[in-house]
Structure 1
């Protein structure tokens, strides 16, 4: 497996490849500055797909201004084996999400919050969410991991979202794991 330093330079979206996290942060700041009185949700989530000889993990970063568009990118991590144990896979998905969430240091989060701060009285908002590709439904194989994974995300000071509200993991990132 690559060293985690290598991961920091592998963010991409349909417009750009090879973005560093600093560049991702710049894009988010630029997006938020277009409408500083917006309703922003910064969401991070990871999904995985087991293939014949590898398991592909995609972490998505999405900044959404409710009703006014999104900016998003992904980071791809390849594990050169079939990860068939569900708990191991879900746990690594969450670790990759946690790794990206941790790049949003207090200073960086403050920078984002300071964009909307002058507009709070006009209703501007900023929240950060960790999207976990698990569900609590009776028929969901991942329901036994919900408490553990939700606790891990909460401990990072990020609002956890599980299915059906974890769309960054279950829809956006999922699209790129195929």
Structure 2
């Protein structure tokens, strides 16, 4: 479950009940996102696809209280022909140190993948798309010391990890909505 701010309180809700926003389709439930992904992939059987999951966060102070916004992104890239994306935002009332924030971002992405992948595999052949988890760490900056740990979390869960500058799902798409 992912904690999600709902009616002013922080509650745990099942991931399949999260609301995602699509610039193309508007507000969608996660099952509707899966349906939209399937329709998009079925729209061009000749193309290769990449399904990307990434999370970014932004700490802020609101009325003097530390808060952090986590944005989860799902990107479906039709290689060489554009793509679609879906994002969901959650606000937590707490302060994170950098290491914990990066771990939480990665955990959110893995949690989303654990729900999304079986749902996609049930309706799309695995050979139609590659799946990647994009993490917001890179060889430049304060996160460089965490690359092995975070990539290990992702690969240990059976997924392919991408770091900056290749992690556009986290560092560009999710970042855009933090």
* 2:38 pairs with 1:29: yes
Shift of 1:7: 6.6
Of Structure 1 and Structure 2, which has the larger fraction of its residues in strand?
A: 2
SS of aligned partner of 2:153: helix
The answer for unaligned runs of 5 or more in structure 2 is: 1-9
Spell out, residue by residue over 1:72-123, the C-alpha distance to the aligned partner (whole angstroms, 9 max, x if none).
Answer: 100111111232x001100110111011111124353252226xx5xxxxxx
* TM-score, normalization by structure 1: 0.85
* TM-score, normalization by structure 2: 0.85
RMSD over equivalenced CA pairs, Å: 1.7
Spell out, residue by residue over 1:99-157, the C-alpha distance to the aligned partner (whole angstroms, 9 max, x if none).
Answer: 1111124353252226xx5xxxxxxx5210000000123xx201111111111111222
Spell out, residue by residue over 1:19-61, the C-alpha distance to the aligned partner (whole angstroms, 9 max, x if none).
Answer: 2211110000000010012110000000000011310000100
Distance (whole Å) between structure 2 residues aligned to residue 63 and residue 109 of structure 1? 15
* 2:83 pairs with 1:66: no
Q: List structure 1 runs of 4+ shifted beyond 6 angstroms.
A: none
Aligned residue for 1:121?
none
Equivalent pairs counted in the alignment come to 164
SS of aligned partner of 1:67: coil
* 2:82 pairs with 1:81: no
Assess if the C-alpha contact under 8 Å between 1:7 and 1:75 holds in 2.
no
